[in-house]
């Protein structure tokens, strides 16, 4: 039995892929990649670094001697220098040129940017996967009339598919934000201790063009188009805030979806998947609790609050840098990504097995439709010679009486029977029922669904086929 605290993100929620991106192994292997790129760039620009030294560094890029690094850190109390030392132990011929001219943030900050880029790519893939599943659902149910709600009170009708496009639309906003963050992300590059590149001026005898060339080389080696134009010791912590804000937006959209589905489950109109042997309640065997959507809501709340951490970090950086960002940053940014990864994993699972109950939806529509159709019924009666003003008052009184039966007596909506019995309308029941066709009250909803999917969603899905498909199994 584990006798130390373990994050639920590691044991229950986040995927192995996302956990690896924020693992020590990913971090320290990226440090070594950066040190190799630095050595290659410096050699290319004329510094006395041999091919054999670079070959030695490359030979030990993956087999990190963690035990040596841990022991050294106990002595020197510096994580970067302990790993410089450990790398040098494995590469005695190259130890003198490891980290040459760089500050700790060369590996620390550049690695953070690289990891966030890879994490955003994984989030993007899963987000598009969710969009794909919901688009299939929206098209399948684009014509199914359902009650729409304002103030959580029945309003006009919509369709089940049209409601799904509202969820989709929010996710498209999030995808746009994510694409923006990815497109604007820049490496810190080689900026030196306080961002002035003074150490590199010394190395390259004041040749600024060589320093710029080194910066470009590092960017190319790490797969970036550019590095930040200016920095202090670190890249601006507003980068972390912006990325976490985008993650918060995804959490917001997920919470909206999950809360809607939880309410629909209460209405018995729709449900999340429920497995054959799943137990809904320890005390009430009949229950089908929406535990997946409840988990989405809980994790979304966590991610939305987590964005405050990078906001405060960005605001409290003194001059070129203060280290009070470090402990907070390594927790807040990682867990925001782990949280969103967990949310998207659940969304993929839920959206792949959404359950719809058309007969219940129809029943609930028909209970409310007489109220919504009152204007149409009145116009039908006017065409047969009725007085519009008189009929308006009569139908208002009948509607109030019918609502009283429903709310105070627990009866069924008897508005149609009341109108049939009122000679002022001159309508037979069959005539009224001809008006009460739910499909005639959904406006352009089916057309809107098809247009939205064709114009907004399908181009994304066609451009990203590798993001679609695949099953997601959830832990408890």
Q: Which DSSP letter does residue 195 get?
A: S
Whole-angstrom Cα distance, residue 245 to residue 174? 10
Whole-angstrom Cα distance, residue 373 to residue 368? 9
Whole-angstrom Cα distance, residue 272 to residue 295? 12
Half-sphere exposure of 186 (CA within 13 A, CB side): 17
Contact 248, 301 (CB under 8 A): no
State the helix-helix crossing angle for 238-267 and 160-184, rounded to 10 degrees.
170
Q: Are residues 157 and 227 in the same domain?
A: yes
Q: What is the pLDDT of residue 89?
A: 97
Q: What is the pLDDT of residue 420?
A: 82
Relative to beta strand 270-271, strand 153-159 is: unpaired
Examine residue 7 and state whether it is found in any structural domain, yes or no. Answer: no
Q: Are residues 269 and 396 in the same domain?
A: no
Q: Are residues 112 and 91 in the same domain?
A: no
What domain count does the chain have? Answer: 3
Q: Are residues 209 and 76 in the same domain?
A: no
Examine residue 41 and state whether it is found in any structural domain, yes or no. Answer: yes
Examine residue 241 and state whether it is found in any structural domain, yes or no. Answer: yes
Write out pLDDT tens, residues 366-391: 988 888 877 787 777 788 777 788 88
97, 123, 158 - which closes a domain: 97
Q: Are residues 232 and 306 in the same domain?
A: yes
Whole-angstrom Cα distance, residue 476 to residue 468? 24
Q: Are residues 209 and 286 in the same domain?
A: yes
Examine residue 328 and state whether it is found in any structural domain, yes or no. Answer: yes
Query: Which alpha helices (DSSP H) does 374-471 contain, by range?
Result: 374-383, 388-408, 415-421, 429-435, 445-452, 458-463
Q: Are residues 340 and 379 in the same domain?
A: no
Domain CATH for 378: 1.10.40.30
Contact 36, 106 (CB under 8 A): no
* Residues forming beta bridges with residue 355, ordered by sequence position: 271
Tally of CB atoms within 10 A around 316? 12
Query: Which alpha helices (DSSP H) does 204-357 contain, by range?
Result: 208-222, 238-267, 291-306, 308-315, 326-351
Q: What is the pLDDT of residue 372?
A: 81
Q: Give Cα separations from 161 to 20, 91, 446 (angstroms).
A: 37, 61, 8
* Residues forming beta bridges with residue 157, ordered by sequence position: 147
Q: What is the pLDDT of residue 275?
A: 59
Q: Are residues 216 and 320 in the same domain?
A: yes
Domain CATH for 48: 1.10.275.10
Which residue in 104, 151, 199, 374 is the catalytic one? 151
Examine residue 361 and state whether it is found in any structural domain, yes or no. Answer: no
Instruction: Identify the domain containing residue 34 by its residue range.
Output: 22-97
b/e per residue 193-211 (b: at least 16 CB within 10 A):
bebebebbbebbeeeeebb
Q: What is the pLDDT of residue 470?
A: 67
Q: Which DSSP letter does residue 97 get?
A: G
Whole-angstrom Cα distance, residue 298 to residue 118? 25
Examine residue 457 and state whether it is found in any structural domain, yes or no. Answer: no
Write out pLDDT tens, residues 423-454: 778 778 887 778 889 999 999 999 999 999 99
State the helix-helix crossing angle for 374-383 and 388-408, rounded to 10 degrees.
150
Helix (H) or strand (E) segment spanning residue 155 = strand 153-159
State the helix-helix crossing angle for 104-140 and 445-452, rounded to 10 degrees.
140
Collapsing DSSP to helix, strand or coil, 464 comes out as coil
Q: Are residues 46 and 76 in the same domain?
A: yes
320, 353, 386 - which closes a domain: 353
* 78 flagged as catalytic: no
Examine residue 5 and state whether it is found in any structural domain, yes or no. Answer: no
* 151 flagged as catalytic: yes
pLDDT lower than 50: segments of the chain: 276-286
322, 353, 384 - which closes a domain: 353
Q: Are residues 55 and 184 in the same domain?
A: no
Relative to beta strand 153-159, strand 145-150 is: antiparallel
Using left for φ > 0, alpha for ψ between -120 and 50, and beta otherwise, residue 243 falls in alpha
CB-based burial label for 30 (10 Å; 0-12, 13-18, 19+):
buried
Closest CA to 223 of 173, 254, 182, 168: 182
Domain CATH for 130: 1.20.200.10
Closest CA to 236 of 200, 184, 198, 201: 184
Q: Are residues 309 and 231 in the same domain?
A: yes
Whole-angstrom Cα distance, residue 351 to residue 137? 8
**What pTM does this model have?**
0.92
Examine residue 10 and state whether it is found in any structural domain, yes or no. Answer: no
Helix (H) or strand (E) segment spanning residue 365 = helix 358-372
Q: Are residues 274 and 391 in the same domain?
A: no
Which residue in 10, 52, 281, 475 is the catalytic one? 281
For the four alpha carbons of 171, 175, 176 and 180, in that order, the dihedral sign comes to positive
Q: What is the pLDDT of residue 390?
A: 82
Q: What is the pLDDT of residue 181?
A: 98
């Amino acid at each position: 039995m584990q006798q130390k605290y373990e994050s639920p993100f590691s044991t229950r929620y986040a995927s192995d892929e996302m956990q690896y991106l924020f693992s020590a192994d990913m971090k320290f292997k990226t440090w070594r990649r950066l040190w190799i790129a630095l050595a290659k760039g410096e050699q290319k620009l004329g510094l006395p670094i041999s091919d054999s030294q670079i070959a030695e560094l490359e030979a030990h890029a993956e087999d990190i001697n963690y035990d040596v690094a841990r022991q050294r850190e106990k002595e020197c109390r510096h994580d970067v220098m302990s790993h410089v030392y450990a790398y040098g132990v494995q590469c005695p011929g190259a130890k003198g040129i490891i980290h040459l001219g760089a500050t700790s943030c060369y590996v620390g900050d550049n690695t953070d940017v690289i990891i966030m880029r890879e994490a955003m790519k994984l989030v993007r893939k899963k987000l598009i996967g969710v969009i794909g599943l919901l688009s299939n659902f929206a098209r399948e149910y684009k014509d199914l009339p359902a009650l729409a709600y304002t103030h959580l009170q029945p309003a006009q009708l919509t369709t089940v598919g049209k409601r799904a496009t509202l969820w989709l639309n929010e996710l498209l906003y999030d995808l746009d934000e994510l694409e923006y963050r990815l497109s604007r992300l820049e490496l810190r590059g080689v900026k030196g201790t306080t961002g002035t590149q003074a150490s590199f001026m010394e190395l390259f005898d004041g040749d600024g063009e060589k320093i710029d060339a080194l910066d470009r080389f590092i960017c190319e080696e790490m797969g970036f188009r550019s590095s930040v134009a200016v920095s202090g010791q670190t890249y601006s912590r507003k980068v972390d805030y912006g990325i976490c804000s985008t993650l918060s937006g995804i959490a917001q959209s997920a919470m909206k979806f999950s809360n809607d589905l939880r309410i629909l489950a209460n209405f018995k109109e729709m449900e999340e998947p429920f497995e054959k042997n799943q137990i809904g309640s320890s005390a009430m065997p009949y229950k089908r609790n929406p535990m997946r959507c409840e988990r989405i809501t809980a994790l979304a709340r966590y991610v939305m609050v987590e964005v405050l951490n990078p906001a405060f970090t960005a605001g409290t950086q003194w001059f070129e840098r203060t280290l009070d960002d470090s402990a907070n940053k390594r927790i807040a940014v990682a867990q925001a990504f782990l949280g969103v990864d967990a949310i998207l994993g659940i969304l993929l699972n839920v959206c792949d097995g959404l359950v719809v109950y058309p007969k219940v939806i129809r029943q609930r529509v028909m209970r409310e439709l007489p109220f919504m159709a009152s204007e149409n019924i009145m116009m039908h009666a006017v065409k047969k010679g009725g007085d519009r003003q008189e009929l308006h008052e009569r139908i208002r009184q009948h509607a109030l009486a019918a609502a009283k039966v429903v709310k105070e007596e627990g009866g069924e909506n008897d508005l149609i029977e009341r109108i049939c019995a009122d000679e002022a309308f001159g309508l037979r029941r069959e005539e009224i029922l001809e008006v009460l066709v739910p499909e005639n009250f959904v406006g352009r909803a089916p057309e809107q669904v098809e247009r939205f999917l064709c114009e907004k969603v399908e181009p994304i899905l066609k451009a990203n086929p590798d993001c679609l498909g695949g099953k997601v199994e959830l832990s408890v």
